[in-house]
Amino acid sequence: MALNPVLGKLVSKRVVLASASPRRQEILTNVGLRFEVVPSWFKETLEKSSFAAPYEYAVETAKQKALEVANRMHVKHLRTPDIVIGADTIVSVDEQILEKPVDKQDAYRMLSRLSGKEHSVFTGVAIIHCSSKGNQLETEITDFYEETKVKFSDLSEELLWEYIHSGEPMDKAGGYGIQALGGMLVEYVHGDFLNVVGFPLNHFCKKLAELYYPPPKHTVQHIKHDSIPSVDTFENLSDGESESSNFTEHKGANKLDSSRMCPSRPVYNCENSSSVRTGFTVPLENQNGASESAAKLPSKILDLMDGFKASKALFVASKLKMFDYLKTKGPLKAVDVANEVGTSVCGTERLLDACVALGLLEKTSQGYSNTDSANTYLTSDGEYSLHGYIIHSNDHLWPLFTNLESAVREGSRQNHRAFGRKAEDLFKDYYHSQEVKQRFMAAMHSIAHLTARDVATAFDLSQFKSTCDLGGCTGALAHELIQIYPNMKVTVFDLPEVIANISYFQPSEQCAAPVTFVSGDFFKDNLPEADLYILSRVLHDWPDEKIHVLLSKISAVCKPGCGILLAEMVLDDEKKNRSTALLQSLNMLVQTEGKERSGSEYRGLLEQHGFANVKIKLTGNLLDVILCIKT
Ligand SMILES: Cc1cn([C@H]2C[C@H](O)[C@@H](COP(=O)(O)OP(=O)(O)OP(=O)(O)O)O2)c(=O)[nH]c1=O
């Protein structure tokens, strides 16, 4: 199947996914679609009883989510996106619509209704093509839905509660996630699996193929409204591109054929009906090579070849604090940015343009300005600033990664090559100078802050009265724990040179129950007493031998019923799917004796030290969470 041309049609467009769902982002990223994420603020409060069928509710909600984002972006930035994609997933059982549970009781109510029965999962999708006329936003809406049938086994009350306590149901329609623990509840699935996970990719691609490669008119005329089209893929059709299928041009000339845009007109594949489903294979119609070479364009490989340039562009713009200047003073012309920063105008202009193309900045006739993401993540005072980690990536990881080849040949860390220093203990390397130490602490703080909420809420930790975050650095996770569990006593235990430097990172408003910081070396010193020991991004720094030393120390002070919570990037057992975590494991190779590990590997390590009932939660954020209890 020539998939690439379908998505390739979107390459030059500003595509926005109006969804906060990490699953939708992952599904679309995995097929190489480039898009910005702007979660919709539309509240899912449409009156369900006013819809004749559950899928109509999902389609309308998806449409409203996407329209809200299209309108907001148009008004706010005066730079209208080309395409906004919205989606809404619901579960329907006995004519009732189930959305995300509001609390655990609600999850229990939903899951017990699904037990032993077949239900339908509907995802409504809206694809909105936007354009600006004068100051007005014009939209062309295409929508559709997909249904998948899922049957649950008979589920005991005990099993349901165990599942609910895993925390997985809370952000998922119907209260389950088929892609993770919830998969164990499922007897069969009829239909598109990804539709259950939140996005019907196959139907979406077919829809794009319809929009961008419509069949020639004579073919359409032969199709009866209620009949199966005479072709089931587009392979036999001529492209139509030369006539009218280039969406942008077509739209400019006159409005799109509304029969293609309106889901309620059944002329050509506008309904969700398997009887009119077509494949989304795109024709290699042109025998003289033009389209064929486009179809073969190895875009993923080309993106990888460019990856280091894109990373470095981000690092340099961050290091020069361009995002900070644009936040306070933007929009600015390239010459003004160059003056602020003290750089050349021609170099600055090229860097800013590259950042625009990478989706980090926006460019209008008034100049360059930050995107919402840049304000949140790239400025040094952004709410979830990654500035510290970006500078660490530029100044520390980049030189190490340039020695990746040696690391792979030798199987060991490369600090001596990158920094001309004999490799000592990992943390002695980081703490040999005040500047490097503070840079490292800022980097760790930014990741800990970004992931803290997901780590703290992955499991219900209210049973633990006291917690000790070993290697908890600036206390970002500790502060989040206190927010969520106000009665919890939280201690951070870290090296004296870290504890001496934490003040800069403390939240300005004082918490009622402040975090206690204790200095020491967890390999050598006594550990503070606690019901729960947290090791966040600690075990990945060390080889198995050192981990056994640490886990046996924790095991010795842990009473039965007490636990360990690990926060790490957990690899899939086959070590072939999670590229972020696998690349992070290379990161550990170039600078430590540690590595990233799979869920089974962590389970094996923990069980050897008397920790059982090991539960793993993939959070969708950078860190996954593992909880286990001392027997
Ligand atoms: C049934 C099921 C749902 N889900 C998820 C998909 C959706 O993210 C979520 C349903 O909620 P939605 O309201 O469709 O989406 P969302 O709130 O996650 O994101 P947004 O509104 O910003 O688009 O449930 C799974 O991940 N696995 C499953 O098995």
Q: How far is the CA of 23 from the centre of ligand 1 (A)?
A: 8
Which pLDDT band, with edges at 50, 70 and 90, does 324 fall under?
A: very high
Worst-scoring range by mean pLDDT, 87-101, 281-295, 488-502, 520-534?
281-295
- Both tokens of 428, joined, read 């002695």
In ligand 1, the atom with minimum distance to the C-alpha of 174 is 1
Give the Cβ contact number of residue 559 at 10 Å.
Answer: 8
This prediction's pTM: 0.56
Q: What is the mean pLDDT of residues 234-256?
A: 31
DSSP 536: E
- Both tokens of 19, joined, read 């969804």
Atom 17 of ligand 1, nearest CA residue: 21
Q: What is the mean pLDDT of residues 130-134?
A: 82
User: What local confidence, expressed as pLDDT, does residue 619 receive?
Assistant: 85
Q: How far is the CA of 198 from the centre of ligand 1 (A)?
A: 5
pLDDT at 100 over 90: yes
pLDDT at 227 over 50: no
Q: How far is the CA of 21 from the centre of ligand 1 (A)?
A: 6
DSSP 397: I
For residue range 425-447, list pLDDT tens digits in order. Answer: 667 777 778 888 899 999 999 99
Residue 583's closest CA among 348, 397, 312? Answer: 397
Residue 196, SS3 per DSSP: helix
Q: What is the mean pLDDT of residues 139-154?
A: 96
- Both tokens of 61, joined, read 């909600």
CA distances from 295 to 28, 282, 292, 376, 541 (A): 19, 9, 5, 37, 43
Percent of the chain's residues with pLDDT above 70:
84
The ipTM, to two decimals, is 0.96
Domains 5-89+121-146+196-290 and 436-630 fall in the same CATH topology: no
- Note the CATH architecture for domain 5-89+121-146+196-290: Alpha-Beta Complex (3.90)
Q: What is the mean pLDDT of residues 504-511?
A: 75
Q: How far is the CA of 171 from the centre of ligand 1 (A)?
A: 7
Residues 6+ apart with CB under 8 A from 404: 414, 586, 589, 590
**Measured from the CB, is residue 19 less than 6 Å from ligand 1?**
yes
User: What local confidence, expressed as pLDDT, does residue 558 receive?
Assistant: 96
In ligand 1, the atom with minimum distance to the C-alpha of 58 is 14
If phi over 0 gives left and psi between -120 and 50 gives alpha, with beta otherwise, what is residue 167?
A: left
Angstrom distance (rounded) from CA 610 to CA 420: 42
β-pair type (361-364, 186-190): unpaired
Q: Angle 8-13-15 (CA atoms, 0-180°, nearest 5)?
A: 100
Domain boundaries, the chain: 5-89+121-146+196-290, 299-385, 436-630
Which pLDDT band, with edges at 50, 70 and 90, does 540 fall under?
A: very high
Which residues are bridge partners to 628 per DSSP? 564
Q: What is the mean pLDDT of residues 296-309?
A: 86
Residue 550's closest CA among 538, 560, 536, 561? Answer: 538
Residue of 88, 143, 454, 541 with catalytic role: 88
pLDDT at 418 over 60: yes
User: What local confidence, expressed as pLDDT, does residue 431 receive?
Assistant: 72
User: What local confidence, expressed as pLDDT, does residue 4 receive?
Assistant: 59
Exposed / middle / buried, residue 271 (Cβ in 10 Å: 0-12, 13-18, 19+): middle
Which pLDDT band, with edges at 50, 70 and 90, does 1 fall under?
A: very low
In ligand 1, the atom with minimum distance to the C-alpha of 42 is 21
**Measured from the CB, is residue 23 less than 6 Å from ligand 1?**
yes
**Measured from the CB, is residue 173 less than 6 Å from ligand 1?**
yes
pLDDT at 75 over 90: no
**Measured from the CB, is residue 40 less than 6 Å from ligand 1?**
yes
Worst-scoring range by mean pLDDT, 171-175, 415-419, 445-449?
415-419
Q: How far is the CA of 31 from the centre of ligand 1 (A)?
A: 19
CATH 3.40.50.150 for the 436-630 domain, yes or no: yes
Angstrom distance (rounded) from CA 445 to CA 432: 19
**Measured from the CB, is residue 146 less than 6 Å from ligand 1?**
no
Angstrom distance (rounded) from CA 369 to CA 505: 28
Q: What is the mean pLDDT of residues 109-116?
A: 96
**Measured from the CB, is residue 119 less than 6 Å from ligand 1?**
no
Q: Which of 19, 21, 63 to mutate to test the pocket of ligand 1 (most atoms within 8 A of CB)?
A: 21
Atom 26 of ligand 1, nearest CA residue: 197
Atom 7 of ligand 1, nearest CA residue: 198
User: What local confidence, expressed as pLDDT, does residue 219 receive?
Assistant: 41
Q: Angle 526-532-535 (CA atoms, 0-180°, nearest 5)?
A: 75
Angstrom distance (rounded) from CA 254 to CA 325: 42
DSSP 545: H
User: What local confidence, expressed as pLDDT, does residue 221 receive?
Assistant: 38
pLDDT at 610 over 60: yes
For residue range 23-44, list pLDDT tens digits in order. Answer: 999 999 888 888 888 899 998 8
Query: Is residue 425 flagged as an active site residue?
Result: no
**What mean pLDDT is reported for the chain?**
85
Higher-confidence position of 73 and 264: 73
Q: How far is the CA of 170 from the centre of ligand 1 (A)?
A: 10
Angstrom distance (rounded) from CA 1 to CA 281: 5
Q: Which of 38, 57, 166, 172 to mutate to test the pocket of ligand 1 (most atoms within 8 A of CB)?
A: 172
Atom 9 of ligand 1, nearest CA residue: 172
On whether the CB atoms of residues 148 and 188 are closer than 8 A, the answer is no
For residue range 481-504, list pLDDT tens digits in order. Answer: 999 999 999 999 999 999 999 988
Which pLDDT band, with edges at 50, 70 and 90, does 179 fall under?
A: very high
User: What local confidence, expressed as pLDDT, does residue 626 receive?
Assistant: 97
* Range list of H helices, 320-369: 322-329, 334-341, 345-357
- Both tokens of 394, joined, read 């530029």
In ligand 1, the atom with minimum distance to the C-alpha of 87 is 23
User: What local confidence, expressed as pLDDT, does residue 34 receive?
Assistant: 86
- Note the CATH architecture for domain 299-385: Orthogonal Bundle (1.10)
Q: How far is the CA of 577 from the centre of ligand 1 (A)?
A: 22
Angstrom distance (rounded) from CA 378 to CA 350: 19
For residue range 554-590, list pLDDT tens digits in order. Answer: 999 999 999 999 999 999 999 988 899 999 999 999 9
Residue 578, SS3 per DSSP: coil
